[in-house]
Amino acid sequence: MIKSRLCDLLGIKYPIIQAGMGPFSNNNLCVASANAGVLGLLSTSGLFNKKDQPWIYNAFVDSGEASRDDDMATALEKVLKRTYRLTKDKGGIFGINVMVSAELIQYSTILIDTAIRVREENPDMKNNFKVIFTSAGDPVPWQEKIKGAGFTWMHVVPSVRGAQRCKKAGVDVIVASGHEGGFHTSWEPVHSMILLPAVVDAVSDEKTLVCGAGGFCDGRTLAAALVLGADGAQMGTRFLATQESDFHEIWKQAVVEAGDRGTLVARGFVGPARWIKTPRSMEHAKNTLEKSPGVFLGIPDDYSTIDMSLIQYEIESIKAVYEGNKEKALMAAGECAQRINDLPKVADMVEKIMKEAEETLRNVATKYLA
């Protein structure tokens, strides 16, 4: 049986992180993942959109036993309590993923403060609700708040420099996310084969764990992450395409049908994003080249400098997914979508991944070590 420091740190059975993907809720996916023995992460990005994108907010609260009339803090509290109720008997371990980019700080603060408060008011939750995972921003300003609250703190980065920033902040688990990943990708395209071992070399020690993300979707890729020095791997697209996934069926089917060279990069809400290749996303990529060329040049821009029609196009396209409109939909996925061809149950998938990873590591040792 494969065990890693990530398993020991969190009390999970397998060294896998189910990514906290949005904009759809993943309330049911998180429960299924945690109960399957991996770290389940709740997405919180759906809570940002009550006024301007209510279809996202509504789906989040509907699947989390909250009310559409709830404010952000109340909705998150109800979702956290539901997740705990559904994972405690099986010992499932879960956390929240919170985007902390500059545009979202006011929301991020509410979400993190709520998570800390709810766990303090319900101390039994500490056995299951163990992780705050931050993304898409600078971790350093969050050091005092998160480190002082007793959570295991994870943060995702696209570079060695970002990993060193995490080290300065005292992040417990640094997730190195290669450019193969789905949806939010980095401005500079450094891929997992280069990024992951570089981050391991730069920051991994007895106090700091490193996990890989971007391209990991099965036992062989999990084994590769471990061989490269990681303590585990985060998987997003693979978990999206499961029976328990909350994502719309047209999104899940698009992953299964993606095929060879099935993704492309174009503008997203907070920078470059990886989309499943469709006529709609190809049009978006052409518009991105014209209106936000930094996506392809590694030069960041923001809402104050780009043509906001790109963002409006994305909003309309995500709404189309909720409406089941395939022609107008944009659907994100990692490059590994081309290697995914089924919609399994989460527990069955996890067991298959772990069996394959174990066989792969044994075979490598037998075949190449004299």
For every residue of 18-35, DSSP letters joined together read: E----SS--HHHHHHHHH
* pLDDT mean over 257-272: 93
Between the CA of residue 143 and those of 151, 174, 209, 237, 333, what are the distances in Å? Answer: 11, 14, 17, 29, 31
Q: Which two tokens stand for residue 225?
A: 């992450």
Residue type, 322: Y
pLDDT at 288: 96
* pLDDT mean over 220-229: 97
pLDDT at 353: 98
* pLDDT mean over 203-219: 97
Selection from 18-27, 54-63, 132-141, 194-203 with the highest mean pLDDT: 194-203
How far is residue 270's CA from residue 158's CA, in Å, rounded to a whole number?
A: 14
Rounded to a whole number of angstroms, the CA Rg of the chain reads 19
First to last CA, the chain: 23
Q: Is the pTM of the predicted complex or chain greater than 0.85?
A: yes
* pLDDT mean over 255-269: 95
Query: What is the 3-state composition of the chain as percent helix, strand, coil, each rounded to the nearest 5?
Result: 50, 15, 35
Residues 6+ apart with CB under 8 A from 141: 100
Strand 16-18 relative to strand 271-276: parallel, antiparallel, unpaired?
unpaired
Residue 296's closest CA among 273, 279, 269?
273
> Each residue of 270-314: pLDDT tens digit?
889 999 999 999 999 999 999 999 999 999 988 888 899 999 999
pLDDT at 165: 95
pLDDT at 136: 84
Q: Which domains does the chain have, with CATH numbers?
A: 5-247 (3.20.20.70), 252-335 (no CATH)
Mean predicted lDDT score pLDDT of the chain: 94
pLDDT at 53: 87
Residues 6+ apart with CB under 8 A from 293: 299
Alpha helices in 89-191 (DSSP H): 105-121, 143-147, 160-169
Q: Which two tokens stand for residue 145?
A: 């708040």
Instruction: Kindly tell me if the per-residue pLDDT of 22 is higher than 90.
Output: no
Percent of the chain with pLDDT over 90: 81
The residues with which 156 forms a beta bridge, in sequence order, are 175
